[in-house]
Amino acid sequence: MPEHTDPTEAPESAAPGYNGRSAVDSSRTSYGDVGFSRYLRRAFLASAGYDDESLERPIVGIAVTSSDYNTCHRDMPALLAAVRRGVEQAGGLPMDFPTISLGEILTSPTTMLFRNLMAMDTEEMIRALPMDAAVLLGGCDKTVPAQLMAAASSDIPVMLEVVGPMMTGSWRGERLGACTDCRRFWGKHRGGELDGAEITSVRNELVTTAGTCTVMGTASTMASITETLGMMLPGGATPPAVSGARLRHATETGRRAVELARTGGPLPREVMTRAAFDNAIRVLAAIGGSTNVLIHLIAVARRAGIELTLSDFDTIGADTPLLVDCKPSGTGYMEDFHRSGGVPALLKELAPLLDLDHVGVGGRPLRELVAETSDREEWQATIRPLDEPLGAPGALAVLKGSLAPNGAVIKVSAASPHLMKHTGPAIVVDNPADATRILDDPELDVTPDHVLVLRYSGPIAAGMPEAGALPIPAKLAERGIRDMVRVSDARMSGTSYGTVVLHCDPEAAAGGPLSIVRDGDMISLDVEARSLELLVEPDEIARRLESFIPPVRATRGWQKLYQDTVLPASEGADLSFL
Ligand code: FES
């Protein structure tokens, strides 16, 4: 029998974790006196079949992000069922609730504009609804960062579970998958190598199953980072969406969530420590992960009370080589990474560089997990040994200079070696929507030495779309040119590649130096020296900046709140009051 047979009389308790009293009874929802409020809640729950015995159990809230607009999450109902099964097996009560779902492909103008909104939604629902622990189901690019941000602001145990990567397809015998190959084949089409019928037939093989993009794009990177941070049970980043391994991991997560609900910890801030972030930065370098993750990790750390800066990525990543052979930095796909052992096998290789005392939601130190992981064998070729890396340290580099006084980012591992030191004249595009018109103009005076500049695409101006990898001008693409130096205050997809300098801070809309670049100005990139310079006299730069006119801003709604309070990219682009 329940300890409190009359739930309306249940005592208040400040003890952490489930202590025999239903979270339903400690809810702060009030309809007058405390007893009546509890009575009313149980009356409505009874209408949904929840009897007093059900409500004795620890409640695990499960955030669901299914949406017809988010095809990556289309198998989430099965994932949810698996988590619920685990919760019930462990004696808990699963209660799922919806939050915003951000599907990368159909959300305008960019999912990044809504990452913070999703983080707020998730955080507030965790706080508002009665639950003793939460499992957050995500996957597509911005969903996991938003959920980690929400978790960092939460005061109950939280675990993440992702939908997992999709499987690869095949076209004319060539293996391919979203979305590095989407861009590669589109580049061939623009260059005249593939006709309309061929590119249409490629299209049907790029995204073959449910799940997140199958290369080391932002979704796969964030999944790997979440596992490294310890916010997901070991082995959760890489099982394919359609696999039984994915469902089994979800069930294990459900069971573990009940244990966390009973003990009341560890809390997300106790998991996401400085050591966890340092380990995550090393993994980011070793997987050649997405540049977007710099922004996301800084935002999550800020909420967890950890001061993380762009320089940390440069210094910590500087002695961490590229080990994982996945596109866009390598040749393989997430299913290869998974078959090679996934994140646990990678952490074993990286062990000499990691803080092995870190403890995640699984409750055991990384040292034990590494010790239990089998030694790498030759066939696990997607993960290279530390002494025979795939690429040199420094997969991601942070640049500074007169064009980005507060920093900019380049993914060296996916760039062209011959462009790592380059000086050329600028061609300026003010708006991503104008890019194709300007760059495909047959009259455009452009050579492979030009530097393509995209501006007014930072957080304030446009929510920071993934527009930084500007297309190679058509007349050069037709000549077989596949890469040029590109510079912007935008982001680029984690699946993109090329010599693309991103996140220039301050952004043009905030009066940053990008705003005063003119066609023909010389720009110098030197990755080894970590510099990005506008080769215009300082007096002339100052004179041009004096006449800067800020662009018009939104006057209502989310976009106004966002534009008025968003932090710069180098500070995580969260809202300043969060
Ligand atoms: Fe969802 Fe790539 S579009 S992960």
Q: pLDDT of 387-397, one tens digit each?
A: 999 999 988 99
Rounded to the nearest angstrom, the distance between the alpha carbon of 142 and the centre of ligand 1 is 9
Average pLDDT of the residues in 294-298: 97
Q: Best mutation site among 212, 214, 290, 293 for ligand 1, i.e. most ligand atoms within 8 A of its Cβ?
A: 212
| Whole-number pLDDT of residue 13 | 52
**Residue minimizing CA distance to atom 3 of ligand 1:** 104
| Integer angstrom CA distances of residue 310 from 239, 466, 526 | 30, 19, 18
The CATH T-level fold of domain 396-551 is Glucose Oxidase; domain 1 (3.50.30)
* CA atoms lying within 13 Å on the CB side of residue 442: 0
417 vs 1 pLDDT, higher one = 417
Mean pLDDT across the chain: 94
Pocket of ligand 1 (CB under 6 A): 72, 104-105, 140-141, 179, 212-213, 217, 219
Classified as helix, coil or strand, 425 is strand
C-alpha 70 – ligand 1 centre gap (Å):
8
State yes or no: pLDDT of 11 exceeds 90: no
Instruction: Categorize the per-residue pLDDT at 2 as very low, low, confident or very high, splitting at 50, 70 and 90.
Output: very low
Residue 363 has pLDDT above 70, yes or no: yes
Going by CA atoms, what residue is nearest to atom 2 of ligand 1? 213
Give the least confident one: 19-28, 101-110, 232-241, 482-491: 19-28
Angle between helices 218-229 and 292-304 (to 10 degrees): 30
Q: What's the CA-to-centroid distance between 31 and ligand 1, angstroms?
A: 43
Q: What residues does CATH 3.50.30.80 cover in the chain?
A: 396-551
Task: Please check the confidence at residue 62 and state whether its pLDDT lies above 60.
Answer: yes
Q: Is the pLDDT of residue 199 over 70?
A: yes
Q: Is the pLDDT of residue 305 over 70?
A: yes
Mutate to test the pocket of ligand 1, among 144, 181, 213 (most ligand atoms within 8 A of CB): 213
pLDDT at 573: 98
**Smallest CA separation from ligand 1 atom 1, residue:** 140
Q: Are 116 and 574 in contact (CB under 8 A)?
A: yes
H-helix or E-strand spanning residue 25: helix 23-26
Indicate the pairing of strand 522-526 with strand 531-534: antiparallel
With tokens 């997430």, the residue in question is 334
Q: Which atom of ligand 1 is nearest to the CA of 218?
A: 4
Measured from the Cα of 493, ligand 1's closest atom is 2
> Which letter does DSSP use for residue 364 in this model?
S
Pocket test for ligand 1, best of 101, 106, 112, 141 (most atoms within 8 A of CB): 141
What is residue 478's predicted lDDT score, i.e. its pLDDT?
87
Residues 120-137: what's their mean pLDDT? 97
Statement: residue 1 has pLDDT above 50: no
Give the per-residue pLDDT at 14.
54
pLDDT exceeds 90 at position 429: yes
* pLDDT for position 414: 87
Residue 61 carries which side chain, given as an amino acid letter?
Answer: G
Between the CA of 495 and the centroid of ligand 1 the distance, in Å, is 9
pLDDT > 90 in the chain, percent? 86
Q: How far is the CA of 212 from the centre of ligand 1 (A)?
A: 5
Tokens of 529: 């020296």
Distance of CA 145 from the midpoint of ligand 1 (Å): 13
Report the atom number in ligand 1 closest to the C-alpha of 70: 1
Mean pLDDT value of segment 111-126: 98
Give the whole-number percent of the chain exceeding pLDDT 70.
97
